[in-house]
Homo-oligomer: A and B are copies of this chain.
Amino acid sequence: MNKTPPSPGRLIAASLGPGDPWLITRAAWRVLESAPCWAWPESRQEGGGYAIAIVQRAGLPLPAHTLPLAFPMTRDILVLARHWQAAAEQVLAVLNRGMDVVFLVEGDASFFATFGHLQRTLQAMDPAIQVEIIPGVPSPLAAAALTRRGLCDGDQSLALVSATVGMARIDRLLTDFETVVLLKVRPVLDPLLDLLQTRNLLDKARFVERAGAPEERVVDNVWSLKGTQVHYLSLMIVHCNDGEAALGDRR
């Protein structure tokens, strides 16, 4: 009889890309097909089950063990910390049975993703837990592909920021960078459009919502969005200082 406890399983972040199951990497696909347990964030509000929706669209069957982790859509740090703590405890219990857990991540795990919270909380509980991160296609690159226009090249520079950093900050970025990608534009869409108009950049901007998902939308005339509601997974690409590329205009 073997009384040795099993070695703990590994926590594997599987980045799934922005929404199109074809944009899942072969590495993530392999791990989804073989892992005994998937965990993913869920929320009663919209978007909370976005990651699991991607693998469902891919037609992959659920594994034997599943861990939907409940999260509220809140910016209250104490509430979030309590939920991450509870989520990490659930994951740790599975890992301690010797089972690998694959955490499903929309986009890429290192890029504006919540995986870092789970990783930190879990490793604070047990520093010996092994973590593997499978990178993926981030939404700005899927969006750029849809617009058929590169984000940057040569000696150019690219800023990627949450649009919630404030209009004064965005105004400076629009001066300093060739290309600025603004994530999470929903709560500030109207002031952002006003800024782009003031800076005479409306025709240099492209709006992309849910790149890769069935409901994906690319809007060239961004001013037409004024006063409308957009999805929370939406971004704006601004080619604010494109000038002439090395071999001619980039259009």
Contacts and interface: CB of A to CB of B under 8 A. Distances in A.
Contact of A134 (B145, B149, B156, B160): B145
Contacts of A141: 15, 108, 110-111, 135-136, 138
Contacts of A24: 25-26
Nearest to A124: B248
B162 A133 contact: no
User: What number of copies of this chain does the assembly contain?
Assistant: 2
Contacts of A22: 25-27, 30
Interface residues of A, number: 68
B162 A159 contact: no
B155 A157 contact: no
Nearest to A164: B155
A165 interface: yes
Interface string A1-26: 00000000000010101001111111
Contacts of A245: 116, 120
A168 interface: no
A157 B148 contact: no
Top 3 closest pairs, chain A to chain B, by CB: A110-B144, A22-B27, A133-B145
24 contacts: A15-B145, A21-B26, A22-B27, A23-B25, A23-B27, A23-B134, A24-B25, A26-B29, A77-B247, A80-B246, A109-B150, A110-B151, A111-B150, A111-B151, A111-B158, A116-B153, A120-B245, A120-B247, A133-B145, A134-B145, A135-B137, A135-B142, A135-B145, A156-B161
